């Protein structure tokens, strides 16, 4: 029996050990899924605090309960920061960050450093799957040579696939199991093994011809969303100048039963994918002498939204004969989307920094983020404040940046001296509310 057939047999028989490298918003749900269906799962992460908490049965992500981690532990899940244990795994699924650097260029150092750390411990009969969002060609150009430097031949003794993560935290209708999984392999044998790996845990597996096609698929999904949000954000500015409520317009257009998909404007883009992915493709396209003007224009519109909102706030304060400098501003919601605790790339944080840079006294309230988290580029020593009638009166303005369901919107509308609504939550016209 070849090592490929033996690996497929292990995966189908659930005797394979699944290694999840990177235990964050993508890796942790994947661990729980494989553990729940009977696989032995080993989690590998460089963060010693995460490893310690998981091994105590504790979660550090709001929508993943301590109970689910404790159940996984009772079924044999273990977390470690020792990459030497990668040799115990039959499958290694890489779920590490791929941010942008300060020049808005791809930073795949987490991918390359993780791969380099794994290489000394790779062995015959393993499959490696990269799930991190990246530019087309990463698997072939960065992972393949590193893996084959170990002396193993990809497609024969070791198998390499790319399968982009598809997570939507806070969405009750979709979880790891029922989100279709794209899989591309470096060779046909790699694809066969990759499909077998994911078919056990995911209801629908969608094969594509190459790892590049799989990488491009992920970018298209998120660029589609980014471009359409950029369009409606630009429409918002035009509508505002004309005295038109863009949210009313989108709602009305959405009644058309064909040819229109509603996208709603907001304070900008957030999360680990949509604000970042378009720049991965624009950067790679330049290697081919191409300028992705349409994508870059949408990116410019979306990244300008926090500045536009701060301008609307300053106009509102001016109407009350107040300066932004020295004013107390409360930002409602710092997570990048409603009902989650994920602050990555949140436009709310950009708004806070712009306000602080102009001399405002900034605080925030977010029922899902009790303390401002440690972030590579943003530093605020703040804790979420409680919203009451009295506390709202103490602010010169309130900015609704993320429309969590837990907020008391009647109280906020009634008691805010000045309210900047970036989410279209308040449709009725009120003298103290500015739609932005």
Q: List residues with catalytic annotation.
A: 273
Write the CB contacts of 202 (distance below 8 Å, at least 6 apart in sequence).
176, 177, 179, 180, 181
Say how far apart CA 69 and CA 53 lie, in whole Å: 10
- Closest to 422 (Cα-Cα) out of 283, 308, 277, 273: 308
Count of positions (residues) in the chain? 436
Say how far apart CA 252 and CA 281 lie, in whole Å: 33
> Is the Cβ–Cβ distance between 129 and 140 less than 8 Å?
no
Tokens representing 338 are: 């409603």
Task: Kindly list the distances between the CA atom of residue 308 and the CA atoms of 145, 292, 304, 354, 436, in Å, as whole numbers in the listed order.
Answer: 46, 24, 6, 11, 8
Write the CB contacts of 317 (distance below 8 Å, at least 6 apart in sequence).
323, 324, 327, 396, 397, 418
> Is the Cβ–Cβ distance between 129 and 91 less than 8 Å?
yes
The HSE-up count of residue 22 (CA atoms within 13 Å, CB side) is 22
Write the CB contacts of 389 (distance below 8 Å, at least 6 apart in sequence).
411, 415
In SS3 terms, 272-335 reads as CCCCCHHHHHHHHHHCCCCCCHHHHHHHHHHHHHHHHHHHHHHHHHHHCCCCCCCCEEEEECCC
Say how far apart CA 40 and CA 91 lie, in whole Å: 11
Say how far apart CA 52 and CA 79 lie, in whole Å: 8
The rounded Cα 130 to chain-centroid distance in angstroms is 16
């Amino acid at each position: 029996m070849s090592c490929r057939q033996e690996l497929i047999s292990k995966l189908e028989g659930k005797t394979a050990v699944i290694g999840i490298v990177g235990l964050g918003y993508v890796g942790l749900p994947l661990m729980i899924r494989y553990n729940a269906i009977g696989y032995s799962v080993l989690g590998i992460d460089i963060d010693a605090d995460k490893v310690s908490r998981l091994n105590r049965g504790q979660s550090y992500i709001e929508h993943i309960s301590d109970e689910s981690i404790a159940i996984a532990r009772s079924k044999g899940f273990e977390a470690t920061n020792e990459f030497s244990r990668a040799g115990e795994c039959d499958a290694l699924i890489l779920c590490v960050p791929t941010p942008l650097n300060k020049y808005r260029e791809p930073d795949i150092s987490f991918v390359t450093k993780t791969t380099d750390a794994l290489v000394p411990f790779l062995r015959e009969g393993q499959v490696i799957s990269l799930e991190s969002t990246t530019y087309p060609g990463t698997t072939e150009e960065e992972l393949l040579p590193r893996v084959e430097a170990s002396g193993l031949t990809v497609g024969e003794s070791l198998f390499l696939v790319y399968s982009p993560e598809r997570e939507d935290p806070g969405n009750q209708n979709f979880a790891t199991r029922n989100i279709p999984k794209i899989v591309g392999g470096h060779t046909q044998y790699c694809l066969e093994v990759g499909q077998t790996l994911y078919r056990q845990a995911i209801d629908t597996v969608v094969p594509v011809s190459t790892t590049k096609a799989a990488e491009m698929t992920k970018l298209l999904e998120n660029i589609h969303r980014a471009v359409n949000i950029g369009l409606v954000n630009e429409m918002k500015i035009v509508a505002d100048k004309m005295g038109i409520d863009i949210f009313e317009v989108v709602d009305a257009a959405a009644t058309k039963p064909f040819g229109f998909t509603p996208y709603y404007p907001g304070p900008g883009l957030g999360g680990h994918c949509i604000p970042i992915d378009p720049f991965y493709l624009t950067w790679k396209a330049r290697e081919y002498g191409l300028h992705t003007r349409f994508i870059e224009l949408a990116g410019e519109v979306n990244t300008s939204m926090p500045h536009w909102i701060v301008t609307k706030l300053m106009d509102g304060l001016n109407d009350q004969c107040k300066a932004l400098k020295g004013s107390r501003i409360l930002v409602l919601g710092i997570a990048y989307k409603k009902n989650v605790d994920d602050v990555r790339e949140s436009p709310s944080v950009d708004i806070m920094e712009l306000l602080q840079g102009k001399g405002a006294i900034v605080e925030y309230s977010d029922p899902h983020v009790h303390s401002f988290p440690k972030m590579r580029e943003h530093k605020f020593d703040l804790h979420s404040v409680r919203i009451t009638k009295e506390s709202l009166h103490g602010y010169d303005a309130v900015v609704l940046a993320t429309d969590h369901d837990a907020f008391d919107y009647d109280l906020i509308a009634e008691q805010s001296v000045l309210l900047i609504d970036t989410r279209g939550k308040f449709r009725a016209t009120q003298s103290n509310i500015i739609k932005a």
